[in-house]
Structure 1
Amino acid sequence: MEGVVFVRKKLIAFLLSLALLTSIPSLSQADDSIPVLLNGEAIHFEVQPFIEEGTTMVPFRSIFEKLGLAVSWDGEAQTITGYSSDLEIRLQIGSATAIVDGKPQELTIAPEIKDGSTFVPLRFIGESSGKKVIWDARNHTVLIRDGLSNYLENTLYITSKNLTYVGDQKDGHVSIYSDGKLVFEGEFKDYKINGTGTLYWQGGQKYYEGQWFNGLMNGIGKLYNEDGTLWYDQIKMSDNIIGGNGSFYLSNGWVYKGELVNGTATGIGKYYDPSGALFFEGESKNFKFEGQGKIYFTDGKVLFVGEFHNSMANGEGIQYNEDGSIKFKGLFKDGNPVIDKVATQEIGINFSAEPPVLDSSIATANAAFTMINAFNEGLYRLDKDGKVQPGLAKEMPKITNNGLTYTIALRDAKWSDGTSVKAADFVNAWKRTLDPATKAQYSFLLERIKGGEDVTKAKTPNAVKKAKDSLGLKAIDDNTLEINLERPVAYFPSLLAFPVFFPQKMDFVAALGNQYGTDADKVIGAGPFKLVKWNHGQTLEFVKNDNYWDAMNVKLNKITVYIVKDGSTGLNLYASNVADVSELGADFLNLYQGKPDIVFKPELTTSYLMFQEKKFPAFANAKVRQALTLAIDRYAFIKKVLNNGSAPSTGFVPNGTLDGNNQSFRAVAGDLTEPKFDTVKAKQLFAEGLQELGMTSLPSFKLTSDDTVTAKKTLEFIQAQWKTNLGIDMTPDPILHMNRVEKQSKHDFDAVVALWGADYNDPMTFLDMWGTGGEFNEVDWSNAQYDELVSSARNETDPETRSKLLVDAEKILMQEMPVGPLYFRNRIFVRKPNVEGIFFPSFGVEWELKWASVK
């Protein structure tokens, strides 16, 4: 549900900000320095701290001595000991087990010697010494703090050191110094602090400002962070304990206003997000929502009202839509409505990318094709075995004229608005796709229709009209479509199931212009479902289309697609029964190993690097491209990053693709085209390529990808491989999926990590895209011999000869390497065992839901 995602994202942001109070996140090792403050005073390290696997490592002697611990070092045993009268911490180089007061404790990372200096994990040492260790994200600083009471004991109330008092302690203004540092200034009466006064951090910054009585903080006051920003405001202190009604400020902008008990949000209060918008009001306990409360949309309208436990909706509650209408009323568990999905026949599905646009003419992304396939339909639809079944067509096509003419009878089908689907809806849609003004990258698929290429190549409006009028496509009547092809295409019925060949309700399309396909109310289909809501960046909501010709066999009433880029968030939605289908990343595979939820999805999908030759001229050199490809250990990449059944590329056309002659294309082509990992050859090619270019080094460039977790890990892996194996510095550039697709279509990139999934099961779907000037030749590569081979294969009627032509074309592609193959993608999903009938096609779309149901 939309509100669920909204609440969950906001809660994650808030709870993470609280987590920062006790943890230090992973940082880049490229940071020049990591300041560390102890009670506001900077700790000087002779050797700079560094980050390793998310843990801040610091020189041991400096931190131990600053924390008041004596130090001993046993060189023979490689043991460090920090000790005082009441604490002993013993660590050993290389050991992840520490001994604290005689008891073993595990470390996140072992102490180590680096460049002659011994480093220990800061957080562990600080917390073992009774301190709080906090990451100040705003100032990129580690804060080590005593609790307020301990700080007062060690400064203002200290008896082991001489304090210096300046002023009239009987009845006047007094400043107190400890070791020459100002720790307090304010009013005294009868030799005790009474009145208003200010306590200071050891670094000289304000700590507390407010009222005192009898030497203790009593009354209204404020607490400050080391950087001078407010920590608590308008609090009521009682014998140095924070209470009353006040405000608590987090470093990332979140604010709590309400009742405080011992410094924590406990009682009635309100939480505001960094923009100042009210997010929650109600009961809290220790900064967690506990009891009755309300959560708000950012515009101030109520999103949820009801019972909370552990900061999530648990118990009775009401969830509202943004217009104020009730979305769900009833029982909630862990933030989610408790819905009987068997009774309601609804499911949730996680999806990693938002579709850029839902227009079947201009869509290019799998995300778009998958959603379009849910709310619309073509003449045919593929079943779970990949076989062609009649969709809006009444029956299989009548094929005549030596395979060139297809006559197709339409069934009595309706659009979701109840109007009839006509043969002209196919004719007009396909002409729109072919029209150069539409700028449809997939128009080349329709060039198989006689005269189709004449339309795409027409230069003037008159020429376009003339070419359209001559197109081998016509509606004989409202229920009969005739298609004439340039040449026989054996897989053409399968191609007609692809969304580019879906019909369009042209009066609806024309009325919307370039807004068609951009929102839920700007699409219409004749498929099994209707898109009724599209909350961009979060969810798409589909409901059953009662006007669908086969509605009686569609069991699902509702589908909610959650846009989730992070695998852990997706798995959280799956585990809490919000989502019923989710891709399973390698990090979580062990959680479901051997369980019935696991679904393996073999795909006809290849992943590869694209090198843009015009925007980055150095990539016009084949040896540079080859070097970059051969310098990547694809087997290690599969193991370390994916671990999902994907296979290192042995060419460009993936495993499972048929060659058009009932043979496996990869078996026919062999592994002669495999771009094998070879650092020696990669270095040689790189040096030769630079010499040919007249360069001594490769200019800086960006490698662009989607911004999912897996895509980011891919960039990190490739960056490390190129740095280690070729000495190249590359800048990772993760961006939104829709932005990456747009950049590719405009040829506006240096290099990009791309994926291409088959539109139909034939090598042509992977090879014809690299022809000179092709819509998807986004690298601007050109090779006349390659063009001739692909063109010949298009016209060849003998399957064996055609297969050989395509094999030879792939060999040229792999020799020139305008694209660098990475892997053939396979994926692993989890699906609730009681969700039946859903299947995951190996090509075309992500999943098929027409026959799905909840048992």
Structure 2
Amino acid sequence: MRIWLKQTMTAVGAISLLTLPTAAFAAPHVTLNGTPQVYDPEPYQKNGRTLVPMRAIFEALGATVEWDETTKTVTGVQGETKIVLQVGSTTATVNGQPVILNQAAEQTNDRVMVPVRLISEALGAEVQWDETTETVRIYSKDMKDRVLHLGISDSISSLDPALLSSYNDYTVAQQVHEGLVRLDRDGNLVPGVAKAWDVSYDGLRYTFHLRDNAKWSDGSPVTAQDFEQSWKRQLNPETASMWSFEFFAIEGAEKYDLSQGGKADDVEVHAKDDRTLEVQLAKPQAYFLRQVALPFFAPSKTTTEPLYNGPFKAERVQYDQGALLVKNEQYWDRDHVRLQQIDFEAVPDTESAGRAYESGWLDGYNPLPQGITPEMPGSVVQTPPLSTVHYLEFNEQKVSALQNVKIRRALTYALDNQEIAEAVFGLSASGANGFVPTGVSKGAPSSGKFRDTAGDALHQAANASQAKTLFQEGLKELGLTALPNVKLLINDTMEAKKTAALLIQAWHDKLGVDVEAEYLPFKLVLQKQTTKDFDITLSGWGADYDDPMTFLDMWVTGGSFNNAGYSNAKYDALVDQIHKEADDRKRTDEMVQAEKLLLDDMAVGPVYFRNSVLQYRPYIKGLAIRSLYPMYDLKDAYIEGKN
């Protein structure tokens, strides 16, 4: 997947605590445990405090309430907690202890209005103020340690598995949908809706056996027919799913999706009965089960409203603001789901996110909020890899000098990849030591990361001292005394310009080469890359699926994204063998060999791998961090030690 070297940020209103300028405002919204509250009369704000009808708030939080008309006194009792307020008095008592109020209780149109924060917090509830939506959020004592408030960096576009289009979509969808298989916290494949599966000896036929107790959120059964219909809907050209290509390993899928004479009935996905799904592949694919674990392979079903079959269900979705998820009591493994609610809040502005995190309104955020440092006490920072690589492409067809492998190696070894990554991206990148990025699995059903097996395939540090010698030897072999004038084609974003400056400086300092940068918008860069109208360019590629071949098979002769024009018959044969290999261990060894050959030829020059940056409070436990598509899985998450 082509990666944009670009970050888009839009501003939203600041987030503060439950304090407002001294004035009367339009009625704020109030939610209790995520459910909107309706009051008569409506709440209002005064002197920076929100007031609500006394009886409604006391009774909603499980307290009894008494009104003394003579003394104009409100008394609320819950267990051993006793709250006393008098209309007009700025002093209340909680269990006999005085509490000074910014705003006294008052009587309006024969209704007594009380400050919501005092009552809620005195009764053990948690109160938060969201200025963006002008909402008071209250979480009762029994719920506050079972609710997560997580910030996401942008809006949600869809939760439909066929229409997901961003990391935020994937992350939220992961919590409400479940496919046939899923990954555990260590990245191992485990049963999902399918309790078991069989694979034919030739690796072409997969038979999935569904659980009897797998249900939709309305209590209806999840069936094999649901999967068949959902997968074929993904492939229907009218759906226009951007992920339909993920299904192309299935016999008949590609022809149907690309309108090449195929029909839905030709796609070899068939429900043999309610609990048995049979899938026939066009050719063996070692990583097929890992693909099936991705969010797009989950089933979808809509009656009067969307249904969900995952650990949580969407209670409310406001796409530009976020989504409120609640535990799905129909989920087959509900007894192991400990959270009751997840409140995803879209906060694109990192400065606002930083204030929200510091105030305690957000329990976690991705990316790192502005003003929040990894060293901040009471925080956990993780930098899971994003399974993306950014690399130099050398146009050998346009610049004859770049046909010399020593020249290409010199241009790559002259760089300090880790220094570039840290200088430009900080925690959100690391220097590349191969072409297949950190985080990508070995592709087999068993766990394990490819980079752990392949190790450092670039050996940049060891080869740095040879860069100048290799460069001079390459020029001599070409009969040149200097490299012809070349340009570096790159995006015009801030990060790209910083990267280009470091590349150009390194080439000047280490090789004595002066390279000119050509900055263009991404679409024009992509156009020039596709038409091979460049000398050297910085490109990016992200995993389409969790297997090294999503990176390695790009470089076969004539490949659609082989903009460098690389061609090596030995490499082509090796990639072909990998596609056919049924033995997992041999296949991994062959992929290691393919990457080594690619980098021996220095067909491309890897520069950096991108990381996600996730910051969250240490009381969040059981969080499963992912490297591909969903940023994390919250099925096993829980809160411990928050207060």
TM bucket (normalised to shorter chain) is 0.5 to 0.7
> Structure 2: which amino acid aligns with 1:396?
A
Q: Contact conserved, 1:376 with 1:524, CA < 8 A, in 2? A: no
Q: For structure 2, which runs of at least 5 residues remain unmatched after alignment?
A: 1-9, 29-41, 50-100, 105-114, 119-126, 509-513
1:454-465 equivalent positions in 2, closer than 5 A: 455=256, 459-460=259-260, 463-465=261-263
Shift of 1:580: 0.5
Aligned partner of 1:480 among 271, 276, 279? 276
Counterpart check, 1:545 vs 2:345: no
Shift of 1:369: 2.2
Deviations 1:639-659 (A, max 9, x none): 334443854211111346554
Q: Contact conserved, 1:603 with 1:826, CA < 8 A, in 2? A: yes
Q: Specify the alignment match of 1:793 in structure 2.
A: 578
Q: Specify the alignment match of 2:228 in structure 1.
A: 427
Q: Contact conserved, 2:389 with 2:608, CA < 8 A, in 1? A: yes
Shift of 1:378: 0.4
> Structure 1: which amino acid aligns with 2:205?
T
Distance 1:743 1:414 in 2: 47
Three-state SS of the structure 2 residue aligned to 1:9 is: coil
Distance 2:598 2:296 in 1: 26
Check 1:797–1:568 CA distance in 2 against 1; reply closer, same or farther (3 A cut).
Answer: same
Shift of 1:498: 1.3
Check 1:824–1:352 CA distance in 2 against 1; reply closer, same or farther (3 A cut).
Answer: same
Aligned partner of 2:22 among 285, 291, 313? 291
Shift of 1:810: 2.1
Deviations 1:220-263 (A, max 9, x none): xxxxxxxxxxxxxxxxxxxxxxxxxxxxxxxxxxxxxxxxxxxx
Q: For structure 1, which runs of at least 5 residues remain unmatched after alignment?
A: 1-6, 16-287, 318-327, 512-520, 706-711
Distance 1:803 1:655 in 2: 15
Shift of 1:531: 3.6
Structure 1-normalised TM-score?
0.50
> Structure 2: which amino acid aligns with 1:764?
M
Distance 1:383 1:670 in 2: 24
Shift of 1:608: 0.8
Counterpart check, 1:759 vs 2:545: yes
Aligned partner of 1:721 among 493, 497, 503? 503
Check 1:617–1:357 CA distance in 2 against 1; reply closer, same or farther (3 A cut).
Answer: farther
Three-state SS of the structure 2 residue aligned to 1:729 is: strand
Check 1:352–1:584 CA distance in 2 against 1; reply closer, same or farther (3 A cut).
Answer: closer
Three-state SS of the structure 2 residue aligned to 1:10 is: coil
1:666-745 equivalent positions in 2, closer than 5 A: 666=451, 669=454, 671-674=456-459, 680=468, 697-698=485-486, 701-703=489-491, 712-713=494-495, 715-722=497-504, 725=508, 726-731=514-519
Shift of 1:847: 0.7
Check 1:427–1:333 CA distance in 2 against 1; reply closer, same or farther (3 A cut).
Answer: closer
1:827-842 equivalent positions in 2, closer than 5 A: 829-842=614-627
Q: Specify the alignment match of 1:603 in structure 2.
A: 385
Shift of 1:464: 1.0
Distance 1:425 1:745 in 2: 41
Q: Specify the alignment match of 1:851 in structure 2.
A: 636
Larger Rg: 1
Distance 1:573 1:853 in 2: 21
Q: Contact conserved, 1:585 with 1:644, CA < 8 A, in 2? A: no
1:259-658 equivalent positions in 2, closer than 5 A: 290-294=21-25, 305-308=45-48, 330=117, 337=136, 339-340=138-139, 343-344=143-144, 345-354=146-155, 358-361=159-162, 363=164, 365-393=166-194, 395-401=195-201, 403-411=203-211, 412-435=213-236, 440=241, 442-453=243-254, 455=256, 459-460=259-260, 463-465=261-263, 468-505=264-301, 524-536=307-319, 538-565=321-348, 567-583=350-366, 585=368, 592=375, 595=377, 597-603=379-385, 605-609=387-391, 632-644=415-427, 647-655=430-438, 657=440
Check 1:361–1:338 CA distance in 2 against 1; reply closer, same or farther (3 A cut).
Answer: closer
Identity of aligned residues (%): 28
Shift of 1:806: 1.8
Counterpart check, 1:823 vs 2:592: no
> Structure 1: which amino acid aligns with 2:388?
T
Q: Contact conserved, 2:532 with 2:564, CA < 8 A, in 1? A: no
Check 1:446–1:782 CA distance in 2 against 1; reply closer, same or farther (3 A cut).
Answer: farther
> Structure 2: which amino acid aligns with 1:308?
G
Check 1:290–1:464 CA distance in 2 against 1; reply closer, same or farther (3 A cut).
Answer: same
Shift of 1:550: 3.5
Distance 1:808 1:572 in 2: 49
Range 837-846 or range 670-679, more displaced: 670-679
Structure 2-normalised TM-score?
0.65
| Larger RCO (alpha carbons 8 Å, 6+ apart) | 2
Distance 1:606 1:398 in 2: 32
Distance 2:117 2:209 in 1: 49
Shift of 1:783: 3.9
Three-state SS of the structure 2 residue aligned to 1:789 is: helix
> Structure 1: which amino acid aligns with 2:191?
P
Q: Specify the alignment match of 1:273 in structure 2.
A: none
Distance 2:175 2:152 in 1: 14
Distance 1:697 1:499 in 2: 47
Deviations 1:466-515 (A, max 9, x none): xx43443210112211123345555443332112321133x77xx9xxxx
Q: Specify the alignment match of 1:325 in structure 2.
A: none
Q: Specify the alignment match of 1:10 in structure 2.
A: 13
Distance 1:660 1:755 in 2: 18
> Structure 2: which amino acid aligns with 1:649?
A
1:142-161 equivalent positions in 2, closer than 5 A: none
Check 1:713–1:769 CA distance in 2 against 1; reply closer, same or farther (3 A cut).
Answer: same
Three-state SS of the structure 2 residue aligned to 1:731 is: strand
Three-state SS of the structure 2 residue aligned to 1:802 is: helix
Check 1:530–1:667 CA distance in 2 against 1; reply closer, same or farther (3 A cut).
Answer: closer
Shift of 1:620: 13
Check 1:11–1:841 CA distance in 2 against 1; reply closer, same or farther (3 A cut).
Answer: closer
1:219-234 equivalent positions in 2, closer than 5 A: none
Counterpart check, 1:809 vs 2:594: yes
> Structure 1: which amino acid aligns with 2:279?
I
Check 1:821–1:555 CA distance in 2 against 1; reply closer, same or farther (3 A cut).
Answer: same
Check 1:504–1:747 CA distance in 2 against 1; reply closer, same or farther (3 A cut).
Answer: farther
> Structure 1: which amino acid aligns with 2:206?
Y
Distance 1:700 1:304 in 2: 59
Shift of 1:352: 3.1
Q: Contact conserved, 1:306 with 1:315, CA < 8 A, in 2? A: no
Please give the root-mean-square deviation of Cα atoms over the aligned residues, in Å: 5.2
Three-state SS of the structure 2 residue aligned to 1:398 is: strand
Distance 1:741 1:528 in 2: 42
Deviations 1:59-101 (A, max 9, x none): xxxxxxxxxxxxxxxxxxxxxxxxxxxxxxxxxxxxxxxxxxx
Deviations 1:438-462 (A, max 9, x none): 5555444423334445545x654xx
Q: Specify the alignment match of 1:150 in structure 2.
A: none
Deviations 1:508-548 (A, max 9, x none): 7xx9xxxxxxxxx7x65322233455555543433333443
Q: Contact conserved, 1:361 with 1:433, CA < 8 A, in 2? A: yes
Distance 1:446 1:375 in 2: 21
Shift of 1:665: 3.9
Check 1:704–1:782 CA distance in 2 against 1; reply closer, same or farther (3 A cut).
Answer: farther
Distance 2:556 2:474 in 1: 26
Shift of 1:377: 1.2
Range 574-583 or range 550-559, more displaced: 550-559
Check 1:568–1:592 CA distance in 2 against 1; reply closer, same or farther (3 A cut).
Answer: farther
Q: Specify the alignment match of 1:29 in structure 2.
A: none
Deviations 1:291-339 (A, max 9, x none): 2343799xxxx99834439xxxx9779xxxxxxxxxx964667867574
